[in-house]
Amino acid sequence: MLSDLEFIRISLEANLFFQRIMKEHLFFVETALPCSETALIRKAATLRQGFEQLLVHTVYYANGVISENALRSNEFVTPYTLKAEEINSGFTGVKLNTEITKAEYALGSSATLYQPWLEAITEEINNSSYNLLKETVSFQKKLLTARLECRIFIFLYPELLEHVNHESEYYMGMLEALKERKLPDKALCDELNFWNHIMEEHARFIDGMLDPTEEKLKDAARTTAEGFERLVQECTGTPAGQIIQKSIQSTEGIRNYKNAAAEGLLQCRIKSVIPPLLADHVLREANHYLRLLGSMNK
């Protein structure tokens, strides 16, 4: 059972990370749909705006409450996030609320004492996030089914649509556990395999979205994906400390790769169809996983 202060801090940190991830998933869907799919575009936009509104509240109440470790992880925003948002908003014509990002750059941490009013607000944020998330998961599943049945076209891989739904369901499981004032009860390999598979898929998506002439970057992406695939296969037969260390090493490697990719895309040095915001998005997920691995490695 989490203490009241742990419940507040962990909830706000989880929502800071995942609300942004969710709103960006919906942005990628919204901007990848053909202009003829007006109803689906409107639905994705409405859900995205819902997460933006929630994130405004979460950022406000998280200031001075979240841990220094979380703040320094660069999982909420990176030095590239604002520029990536501005570029993608300009390219697509979809307005993103960059004031949220600016507020996140100004976030602070402290050992805040328990305050009853903040507990109630945190519960409200969790419940609102959960309700919006259920609607988002339903929308994403219908979108994937329609794509697999060739009833719609979208400029995203079907596997990427499945990937974002897996992340949504992971977030939902976390919110469900927090309702009971606890963390999700998962075996070590279940947790590691989830994130190592996410990292593997990131590398495969990057490989598929790089221009064919970017041979070195594509080779590196494929090698990275194969490394994470091996980690998933080896987990159950490897001592806990060893598989955690291997996961840290591999995740540091893909984090550095993604960091270089984000810089290169923002500076127009890499040929690809990767939106700069997507590069920043997957970088933040690697940063989040590294913080999670660090907590396991104590």
266 and 150 in a single domain? The answer is no
126 burial class (0-12, 13-18, 19+ CB within 10 angstroms)? buried
> Sorting pLDDT into bands at 50, 70 and 90, what band is 113?
low
88 and 170 in a single domain? The answer is yes
> Sorting pLDDT into bands at 50, 70 and 90, what band is 129?
very high
User: What mean pLDDT do residues 100-126 have?
Assistant: 89
Domain span at residue 98 reads 1-185
159 and 242 in a single domain? The answer is no
**Of the residues 120, 150, 185, the one at which a domain ends:** 185
143 and 253 in a single domain? The answer is no
Per-residue pLDDT at 298 exceeds 80: no
131 and 220 in a single domain? The answer is no
71 neighbors 107 (Cβ within 8 angstroms): yes
137 and 212 in a single domain? The answer is no
**Of the residues 132, 160, 185, the one at which a domain ends:** 185
CA distances 139 to 51, 66, 114, 196, 275, Å, are: 14, 31, 37, 26, 23
CA distances 71 to 8, 20, 288, Å, are: 15, 15, 11
59 and 166 in a single domain? The answer is yes
Q: How many domains does the chain have?
A: 2
250 and 217 in a single domain? The answer is yes
Distance CA 55, CA 36 (A): 30
179 and 194 in a single domain? The answer is no
Q: Where are the alpha helices (DSSP H) in 33-80?
A: 38-62, 68-72
172 and 62 in a single domain? The answer is yes
Closest CA to 203 of 233, 231, 174, 223: 223
pLDDT score at 168: 98
pLDDT score at 48: 98
Per-residue pLDDT at 111 exceeds 70: no
214 and 116 in a single domain? The answer is no
Q: Which CATH number belongs to the domain containing residue 232 in this structure?
A: 1.20.1260.120
**Of the residues 185, 218, 244, the one at which a domain ends:** 185
287 and 179 in a single domain? The answer is no
Per-residue pLDDT at 214 exceeds 70: yes
- Of 109-118, 243-252, 257-266, 285-294, least confident by mean pLDDT is 109-118
